[in-house]
Amino acid sequence: MTKVLTIGEVLVEIVATKKGNGFREAVPLIGPFPSGAPAIFIDQVGKLGVSSAIISRVGDDDFGHVNLDRLRADGVDISGIEVDPQGTTGSAFVRYREDGSRAFVFNIRHSACGTISLTFENRKTIETCTHLHVMGTALYAPSVVETVMVALDSVKARGGTVSFDPNLRPEIMNSPGMREALSTVLTRTDLFLPSGEELFLFTTAKEERAAIDELLETGIEAIVVKRGAAGARYYDADQSLTHPGFAVEELDPTGAGDSFGAAFVSFWLNGSPPAEALTYAAAAGARAVTKIGPMEGTSNRAELDALIEGAGPIAITRQ
């Protein structure tokens, strides 16, 4: 049976309710919302009824329990989340600027999830899984990188598959060993899910089609390029498909990419044709932005069906 694993940060997110440039003045805040890119991803997989697990670490504090309660309720196997009585759960403060970009203050590396490591329990969790989704954001500490690499080897050795979302934030790109780790993951990837400039991270080509060809030649089976409100494009060796964005009101874009990736992976693993996986992924990404709070907009199957049916016929362009 398919079981999806991800590894990395479990955080709370606290959002400034007033737009502006960062946190150098007192601003009203709302939160804590359950968050962390891997956590949002795996919550969306769980909500679609696909077997799922996450390896992470939280403190024995309210911020940790906000996450444990949500993930458990949505069907995720949380036995790989260690609760560290001495630790503090990670956090991210986010404030939107007027131009739509985001300023973050992260507490990740020095929080409980900064010390995720390869425990006996984690090895057991890894062995129950057939697919690994790697979040680039999760490669922020050497011990997490080691855990991801062991999971990669284990899943691949058992004939499983790997998806990879670089999910880069300028704030974390300077972590030690990050670039090398990203490059190693890419060489083992079956399904690549970049957005924007991330497509060109490891290509010599600087134009989309040429970069896709370069990546497909390295043995990646399929690539899905996320394009925000414009939707997404799917590529494999035989075809490319362009899906427009669903028309929704964007209240909070954080988590769209993670929800999109989770829905795509869930349908792809269940053998859906790429066009169907792409439609459900675009619907999950669209629903995600309609809710304030990064994990608040994850969806179950009925919610995605309702959005897709409500939107009427969609023109998917094939090449």
- Minimum CB–partner distance for residue 83 and ligand ATP (Å): 26
Q: Which does 22 bind (CB under 5 to 8 A by kind): ligand ATP, Mg ion, none?
A: none
Residue number, 122 or 137, with CB nearest to Mg ion: 137
**Shortest CB 37 distance to ligand ATP, Å:** 7
The listed partner (Mg ion, ligand ATP, none) that binds 109, CB under 5 to 8 Å by sort, is none
C-alpha dihedral, 191 to 267 to 245 to 315, nearest 10°:
110
Binding status of residue 226 toward ligand ATP by CB under 6 A: yes
By CB under 5 A, name the binding residues for Mg ion.
167, 195, 257
Q: Which is nearer to ligand ATP, 16 or 126 (CB)?
A: 16
Contact letters for ligand ATP, residues 99-118 (x by CB under 6 A): --------------------
Provide the minimum distance between the beta carbon of 84 and ligand ATP in the complex, in angstroms, as a whole number.
27
Return the range that interacts with ligand ATP (CB under 6 A); candidates 6-14, 78-86, 208-216, 250-258: 250-258
Q: Which residues contact 295 (CB under 8 A, 6 or more apart)?
A: 33, 34, 35, 39, 40, 43, 70, 255
Beta pairing class for 191-192 and 161-165? parallel
Query: In whole angstroms, how close is the CB of 161 to Mg ion at the nearest point?
Result: 20
Q: Which residues have a Cβ under 8 Å from the Cβ of 83 and sit 6 or more positions away?
A: 57, 58, 59, 60, 64, 68
Alpha carbon distance, N-terminus to C-terminus of the chain: 33
- Neighbouring CB atoms inside 10 A of 75's CB total 17
Contact between 42 and 10 under an 8 Å Cβ cutoff? The reply is no
With binding defined as CB under 6 A, does residue 248 bind ligand ATP? yes
Is 246 a binding residue for ligand ATP by CB under 6 A? The answer is yes
Instruction: Give burial (CB, 10 Å; 0-12/13-18/19+) of 57.
Output: buried
> What's phi and psi for 159, nearest 5 deg?
80, 15
Residues 191, 275, 214, 38, CA torsion sign: negative
Contact flag: residue 229 with ligand ATP (CB under 6 A):
yes
Residue 243 Cβ vs ligand ATP, minimum distance, rounded to whole Å: 7
Q: Does 250 bind ligand ATP (CB under 6 A)?
A: yes
* # residues near ligand ATP by CB under 6 A: 23
Interface with ligand ATP, residue 56, by CB under 6 A? no
**Cross-strand bridge partners of residue 7:** 55
Contact between 232 and ligand ATP by CB under 6 A: the answer reads yes
241: amino acid identity, one letter:
L
Cross-strand pairs, 13: 33, 92
Instruction: Give the residues lining the site for ligand ATP (CB under 6 A).
Output: 167, 195, 226-229, 231-232, 245-246, 248, 250, 253-258, 260, 282, 285-286, 289
